Amino acid sequence: MKKITKILFLVAVVSLSAFAKAKAQVDIGVNLQLNRPAQYENNERFHPNRPSPRHLWVAEEWTWAGGRYVYHPGYWALPPRDGAVWVPGHWIRRQRRPGYMWNPGHWRYR
């Protein structure tokens, strides 16, 4: 009888540890549905007319504001000074930590 009790106890421990281990494996999925206006910003054909030859196109971008991402459509802008070029936002690899960081669009000077 003692042998059967030991075997049942061992089976119960193994079953509980397998159940506890299975509970520890959690998958988290994120489905971002950002409501982007129906525009085709990446195609020059759909840009509004350029106000002057000096204006440069500033591409659309999502920016973090008020605890959420906010859509900013593209627009024509005068560079802050001669030789400035608009660099669209892009992801860059972090140097000291793993992963990537969002680098927002900015003006670059030559």
Please give the mean pLDDT across all residues of the chain. 76
pLDDT band at 4 (very low <50, low <70, confident <90, very high): confident
- For the four alpha carbons of 79, 80, 82 and 85, in that order, the dihedral sign comes to negative
Residue range 97-109: mean pLDDT, rounded: 87
CB 83 within 8 A of CB 110: yes
| Per-residue pLDDT tens digits for 46-82 | 778 889 999 998 988 888 888 887 888 889 999 999 9
Residue 41 pLDDT exceeds 70:
no
> Of residues 22 and 83, which shows the higher confidence score?
83
Residue 31 pLDDT exceeds 80:
no
